[in-house]
Amino acid sequence: MLARKEGAGRRLLVSVSLTALHRNNVMPASALMNVMIAAARKAARSLARDFGEVEQLQVSLKGPANFVSAADHRAEEILFTELSRARPGYGFLMEERGEVEGADRTHRWIVDPLDGTTNFLHGIPIFAISIALEREGEIVAGLIFNPANQETFTAERGKGAYLNDRRRLRVAARTELSASVIGTGIPHSGRAGHDLFLKELRAVMAASAGVRRMGAAALDLAWTAAGRLDGFWERGLHPWDLAAGMIILREAGGYVTDADGRDGILTKGSVVAGNEAIHRGLLKLLKTAGAETDLAATPAD
Protein backbone atom coordinates (compact mmCIF):
# COMPACT_ATOMS: atom_id res chain seq x y z
CA MET A 1 0.00 0.00 0.00
CA LEU A 2 1.27 3.43 -0.90
CA ALA A 3 0.40 6.70 0.75
CA ARG A 4 1.35 9.96 -0.93
CA LYS A 5 2.45 13.08 0.93
CA GLU A 6 2.39 16.28 -1.12
CA GLY A 7 3.22 19.75 0.12
CA ALA A 8 5.72 22.60 -0.19
CA GLY A 9 6.80 21.28 -3.58
CA ARG A 10 7.85 17.87 -2.29
CA ARG A 11 6.47 14.37 -2.56
CA LEU A 12 7.10 11.37 -0.43
CA LEU A 13 5.99 7.87 -1.28
CA VAL A 14 5.58 5.74 1.80
CA SER A 15 5.28 1.98 1.45
CA VAL A 16 4.53 -0.27 4.36
CA SER A 17 4.98 -3.50 2.49
CA LEU A 18 7.32 -5.57 4.62
CA THR A 19 7.97 -8.31 2.09
CA ALA A 20 11.63 -7.31 2.16
CA LEU A 21 11.72 -8.47 5.77
CA HIS A 22 11.42 -12.06 4.66
CA ARG A 23 13.63 -12.16 1.58
CA ASN A 24 17.10 -13.66 1.75
CA ASN A 25 16.97 -14.14 5.50
CA VAL A 26 20.26 -14.76 7.22
CA MET A 27 18.31 -16.85 9.71
CA PRO A 28 14.58 -17.52 10.10
CA ALA A 29 12.81 -15.14 12.46
CA SER A 30 11.81 -16.75 15.76
CA ALA A 31 8.20 -17.13 16.81
CA LEU A 32 8.67 -14.19 19.19
CA MET A 33 10.15 -11.95 16.50
CA ASN A 34 7.39 -12.90 14.07
CA VAL A 35 4.87 -11.70 16.66
CA MET A 36 6.71 -8.39 16.99
CA ILE A 37 7.07 -7.95 13.21
CA ALA A 38 3.40 -8.69 12.59
CA ALA A 39 2.29 -6.16 15.22
CA ALA A 40 4.65 -3.49 13.83
CA ARG A 41 3.47 -4.16 10.27
CA LYS A 42 -0.18 -3.65 11.20
CA ALA A 43 0.52 -0.45 13.16
CA ALA A 44 2.70 0.81 10.30
CA ARG A 45 -0.22 0.68 7.89
CA SER A 46 -2.10 3.07 10.14
CA LEU A 47 0.91 5.39 10.49
CA ALA A 48 1.46 5.41 6.72
CA ARG A 49 -2.13 6.49 6.10
CA ASP A 50 -1.80 9.29 8.64
CA PHE A 51 1.61 10.33 7.33
CA GLY A 52 0.05 10.69 3.89
CA GLU A 53 -2.50 13.07 5.37
CA VAL A 54 -0.25 14.68 7.96
CA GLU A 55 -1.53 18.20 7.30
CA GLN A 56 -5.05 17.13 8.27
CA LEU A 57 -4.11 15.28 11.47
CA GLN A 58 -5.90 16.25 14.64
CA VAL A 59 -3.17 17.29 17.04
CA SER A 60 -3.42 18.02 20.74
CA LEU A 61 -0.77 19.66 22.90
CA LYS A 62 0.65 17.21 25.44
CA GLY A 63 3.33 19.57 26.74
CA PRO A 64 5.52 22.44 25.59
CA ALA A 65 6.69 21.61 22.07
CA ASN A 66 5.80 17.96 22.69
CA PHE A 67 2.91 17.00 20.49
CA VAL A 68 0.84 13.86 20.39
CA SER A 69 -1.27 13.11 17.34
CA ALA A 70 -4.22 10.92 16.65
CA ALA A 71 -1.76 8.73 14.76
CA ASP A 72 0.10 8.01 18.00
CA HIS A 73 -3.03 6.73 19.72
CA ARG A 74 -4.22 4.66 16.77
CA ALA A 75 -0.84 2.95 16.37
CA GLU A 76 -0.57 2.27 20.09
CA GLU A 77 -4.04 0.74 20.22
CA ILE A 78 -3.13 -1.59 17.35
CA LEU A 79 0.12 -2.64 19.01
CA PHE A 80 -1.61 -3.24 22.35
CA THR A 81 -4.30 -5.35 20.72
CA GLU A 82 -1.96 -7.41 18.55
CA LEU A 83 0.66 -8.08 21.21
CA SER A 84 -2.01 -8.90 23.82
CA ARG A 85 -3.63 -11.38 21.46
CA ALA A 86 -0.32 -13.08 20.66
CA ARG A 87 0.98 -13.18 24.24
CA PRO A 88 -1.97 -13.05 26.67
CA GLY A 89 -1.08 -11.95 30.16
CA TYR A 90 2.06 -9.99 29.35
CA GLY A 91 2.22 -6.53 30.90
CA PHE A 92 2.92 -3.27 29.05
CA LEU A 93 4.77 -0.01 29.47
CA MET A 94 3.60 2.33 26.71
CA GLU A 95 4.11 6.01 25.97
CA GLU A 96 0.44 7.00 25.90
CA ARG A 97 -1.24 4.21 27.90
CA GLY A 98 1.42 4.06 30.62
CA GLU A 99 1.91 0.99 32.84
CA VAL A 100 -0.49 -1.92 32.31
CA GLU A 101 0.05 -4.86 34.66
CA GLY A 102 -0.46 -8.32 33.26
CA ALA A 103 -1.22 -11.65 34.86
CA ASP A 104 2.28 -12.74 33.85
CA ARG A 105 4.52 -10.57 36.03
CA THR A 106 7.71 -11.93 34.44
CA HIS A 107 7.11 -10.43 30.98
CA ARG A 108 6.47 -6.87 29.90
CA TRP A 109 6.29 -5.18 26.50
CA ILE A 110 7.91 -1.73 26.36
CA VAL A 111 6.40 0.11 23.40
CA ASP A 112 6.69 3.45 21.65
CA PRO A 113 4.12 3.55 18.83
CA LEU A 114 5.66 6.63 17.24
CA ASP A 115 9.16 7.75 18.19
CA GLY A 116 9.86 11.02 16.41
CA THR A 117 6.35 12.47 16.60
CA THR A 118 7.51 16.00 15.79
CA ASN A 119 9.31 14.73 12.67
CA PHE A 120 6.14 12.85 11.70
CA LEU A 121 3.93 15.92 12.12
CA HIS A 122 6.26 17.99 9.94
CA GLY A 123 6.45 15.43 7.14
CA ILE A 124 10.04 14.40 7.95
CA PRO A 125 10.41 10.65 7.22
CA ILE A 126 12.53 9.86 10.27
CA PHE A 127 10.26 8.17 12.80
CA ALA A 128 9.79 4.66 14.09
CA ILE A 129 7.78 2.06 15.93
CA SER A 130 9.79 0.64 18.83
CA ILE A 131 8.94 -2.63 20.62
CA ALA A 132 10.99 -4.36 23.30
CA LEU A 133 10.27 -7.38 25.46
CA GLU A 134 11.44 -7.42 29.06
CA ARG A 135 11.72 -10.79 30.81
CA GLU A 136 12.34 -10.82 34.56
CA GLY A 137 13.79 -7.32 34.41
CA GLU A 138 16.08 -7.95 31.42
CA ILE A 139 15.48 -6.79 27.84
CA VAL A 140 15.54 -9.93 25.70
CA ALA A 141 14.24 -8.74 22.31
CA GLY A 142 13.88 -5.49 20.41
CA LEU A 143 12.46 -4.21 17.13
CA ILE A 144 12.69 -0.73 15.60
CA PHE A 145 10.83 -0.15 12.33
CA ASN A 146 10.70 2.99 10.19
CA PRO A 147 7.67 2.69 7.86
CA ALA A 148 8.96 5.49 5.61
CA ASN A 149 11.88 3.45 4.27
CA GLN A 150 10.87 -0.07 5.34
CA GLU A 151 13.94 -0.55 7.50
CA THR A 152 13.49 -2.95 10.40
CA PHE A 153 16.21 -3.41 13.01
CA THR A 154 15.80 -6.48 15.22
CA ALA A 155 17.70 -8.35 17.92
CA GLU A 156 17.21 -11.13 20.42
CA ARG A 157 19.57 -11.72 23.31
CA GLY A 158 22.46 -13.93 22.24
CA LYS A 159 21.32 -14.13 18.60
CA GLY A 160 22.83 -10.98 17.08
CA ALA A 161 21.23 -7.90 15.51
CA TYR A 162 19.90 -7.66 11.97
CA LEU A 163 18.61 -5.20 9.39
CA ASN A 164 15.53 -6.56 7.60
CA ASP A 165 16.44 -10.07 8.85
CA ARG A 166 19.14 -10.39 6.22
CA ARG A 167 22.15 -8.25 7.09
CA ARG A 168 24.03 -8.76 10.33
CA LEU A 169 24.62 -5.47 12.13
CA ARG A 170 27.98 -4.43 13.56
CA VAL A 171 28.94 -1.13 15.16
CA ALA A 172 31.49 1.01 13.34
CA ALA A 173 35.14 0.15 13.82
CA ARG A 174 36.48 3.71 14.16
CA THR A 175 38.36 4.25 17.39
CA GLU A 176 39.20 7.95 17.16
CA LEU A 177 36.60 10.56 18.02
CA SER A 178 38.26 12.94 15.58
CA ALA A 179 37.12 10.69 12.70
CA SER A 180 33.68 9.93 14.12
CA VAL A 181 30.17 11.22 13.49
CA ILE A 182 28.16 11.36 16.72
CA GLY A 183 24.39 11.53 17.11
CA THR A 184 22.55 13.41 19.82
CA GLY A 185 19.18 14.79 20.84
CA ILE A 186 18.62 18.47 21.57
CA PRO A 187 16.46 19.28 24.62
CA HIS A 188 13.39 21.12 23.38
CA SER A 189 11.34 23.84 25.02
CA GLY A 190 10.06 22.70 28.39
CA ARG A 191 12.81 20.17 28.97
CA ALA A 192 15.56 20.88 31.49
CA GLY A 193 19.28 20.62 30.89
CA HIS A 194 19.91 23.18 28.17
CA ASP A 195 23.04 24.61 29.79
CA LEU A 196 24.58 21.18 30.31
CA PHE A 197 23.69 20.10 26.78
CA LEU A 198 25.36 23.15 25.25
CA LYS A 199 28.57 22.41 27.13
CA GLU A 200 28.42 18.76 26.09
CA LEU A 201 27.72 19.72 22.49
CA ARG A 202 30.62 22.15 22.42
CA ALA A 203 32.96 19.45 23.74
CA VAL A 204 31.79 16.78 21.28
CA MET A 205 31.86 19.19 18.33
CA ALA A 206 35.44 20.12 19.11
CA ALA A 207 36.53 16.49 19.40
CA SER A 208 34.61 14.80 16.57
CA ALA A 209 34.16 14.90 12.79
CA GLY A 210 30.57 16.04 13.20
CA VAL A 211 27.36 15.90 15.22
CA ARG A 212 23.96 14.87 13.86
CA ARG A 213 20.48 15.36 15.33
CA MET A 214 17.81 13.05 13.83
CA GLY A 215 14.93 13.59 16.24
CA ALA A 216 14.17 9.93 17.03
CA ALA A 217 16.30 8.33 19.73
CA ALA A 218 15.28 4.77 18.83
CA LEU A 219 16.58 5.25 15.30
CA ASP A 220 19.73 6.95 16.61
CA LEU A 221 20.52 3.79 18.57
CA ALA A 222 19.64 1.56 15.61
CA TRP A 223 21.85 3.62 13.29
CA THR A 224 24.69 3.38 15.79
CA ALA A 225 24.24 -0.39 15.78
CA ALA A 226 24.38 -0.30 11.97
CA GLY A 227 27.60 1.76 11.94
CA ARG A 228 25.97 4.81 10.34
CA LEU A 229 26.68 6.79 13.49
CA ASP A 230 29.84 6.08 15.45
CA GLY A 231 28.26 7.06 18.75
CA PHE A 232 25.23 8.64 20.36
CA TRP A 233 24.32 10.42 23.58
CA GLU A 234 21.18 12.02 24.96
CA ARG A 235 19.49 12.81 28.27
CA GLY A 236 15.88 13.15 29.38
CA LEU A 237 14.58 10.05 27.61
CA HIS A 238 12.00 7.42 28.61
CA PRO A 239 12.22 3.62 28.74
CA TRP A 240 10.16 3.25 25.55
CA ASP A 241 12.67 5.47 23.71
CA LEU A 242 15.58 3.25 24.73
CA ALA A 243 14.63 -0.36 25.47
CA ALA A 244 14.63 -1.79 21.94
CA GLY A 245 17.69 0.19 20.87
CA MET A 246 19.68 -1.04 23.87
CA ILE A 247 19.53 -4.70 22.93
CA ILE A 248 19.95 -4.06 19.21
CA LEU A 249 23.10 -2.07 19.87
CA ARG A 250 24.56 -4.57 22.33
CA GLU A 251 23.85 -7.48 19.99
CA ALA A 252 25.69 -5.50 17.29
CA GLY A 253 28.79 -5.46 19.49
CA GLY A 254 28.28 -1.99 20.94
CA TYR A 255 28.52 -0.55 24.42
CA VAL A 256 25.57 1.32 25.89
CA THR A 257 25.26 2.78 29.39
CA ASP A 258 23.76 5.75 31.14
CA ALA A 259 25.72 9.02 31.18
CA ASP A 260 27.53 7.91 34.34
CA GLY A 261 28.83 4.77 32.65
CA ARG A 262 26.46 2.53 34.59
CA ASP A 263 23.48 0.36 33.70
CA GLY A 264 20.74 2.76 34.80
CA ILE A 265 19.61 3.63 31.30
CA LEU A 266 15.91 2.89 31.70
CA THR A 267 15.67 4.49 35.14
CA LYS A 268 17.91 7.54 34.62
CA GLY A 269 16.86 8.29 31.04
CA SER A 270 20.36 9.11 29.82
CA VAL A 271 22.29 7.10 27.26
CA VAL A 272 25.81 6.96 25.82
CA ALA A 273 26.52 4.45 23.05
CA GLY A 274 29.18 3.39 20.57
CA ASN A 275 31.92 0.83 20.19
CA GLU A 276 34.22 0.36 23.18
CA ALA A 277 36.63 3.16 22.27
CA ILE A 278 34.03 5.73 21.19
CA HIS A 279 31.82 4.96 24.17
CA ARG A 280 34.78 5.49 26.51
CA GLY A 281 35.77 8.73 24.77
CA LEU A 282 32.23 10.11 24.91
CA LEU A 283 31.87 9.31 28.60
CA LYS A 284 35.09 11.18 29.32
CA LEU A 285 33.98 14.25 27.35
CA LEU A 286 30.56 14.32 29.00
CA LYS A 287 32.04 13.94 32.47
CA THR A 288 34.34 16.90 31.83
CA ALA A 289 31.46 19.01 30.51
CA GLY A 290 29.34 18.08 33.53
CA ALA A 291 32.11 19.09 35.91
CA GLU A 292 32.36 22.47 34.18
CA THR A 293 28.61 22.93 34.55
CA ASP A 294 28.73 22.10 38.27
CA LEU A 295 31.59 24.52 38.74
CA ALA A 296 29.76 27.31 36.93
CA ALA A 297 26.66 26.73 39.07
CA THR A 298 28.60 26.91 42.34
CA PRO A 299 28.16 30.36 43.92
CA ALA A 300 31.34 32.29 44.65
CA ASP A 301 32.35 32.85 48.29
Of 2-16, 110-124, 185-199, give the range with the top mean pLDDT: 110-124
- pLDDT value of residue 7: 42
- pLDDT value of residue 298: 44
According to the 3-state scheme, what is the secondary structure of 71-120? HHHHHHHHHHHHHHHHCCCEEEEECCCEEECCCEEEEEEEEEEEECHHHH
| CA pair distance 13, 166, nearest whole angstrom | 24
- pLDDT value of residue 14: 42
Contact (CB, 8 A) for 234 and 184: yes
What percentage of the chain has pLDDT greater than the value 90? 72
pLDDT in tens, 51-104: 888 767 667 766 655 667 888 999 999 999 999 999 999 999 998 899 999 999
The domain locations on the chain are 2-168, 177-297
Does pLDDT of 6 surpass 70? Answer: no
pLDDT in tens, 209-256: 999 999 999 999 999 999 999 999 999 999 999 999 999 999 999 999
| CA pair distance 291, 123, nearest whole angstrom | 39
Instruction: Give the end-to-end CA distance of the chain in Å, rounded to a whole number.
Output: 67
- pLDDT value of residue 145: 98
Q: What are phi and psi of 34, to 5 degrees?
A: -60, -35
Does pLDDT of 20 surpass 70? Answer: no
Decide which of 3.20.20.70, 3.40.190.80, 3.20.20.10, 3.40.50.2300 is the CATH code for 177-297: 3.40.190.80
pLDDT in tens, 110-144: 999 999 998 998 889 999 999 999 999 999 999 99
Contact (CB, 8 A) for 248 and 165: no
- pLDDT value of residue 52: 82
2-168 and 177-297 agree in CATH topology: no
- pLDDT value of residue 12: 41
pLDDT in tens, 21-49: 444 445 578 999 999 999 999 999 999 98
- pLDDT value of residue 190: 66
2-168: CATH number: 3.30.540.10
- pLDDT value of residue 3: 41
| CA pair distance 162, 142, nearest whole angstrom | 11
Kindly report the average pLDDT of the chain as a whole number: 87
Does pLDDT of 15 surpass 50? Answer: no
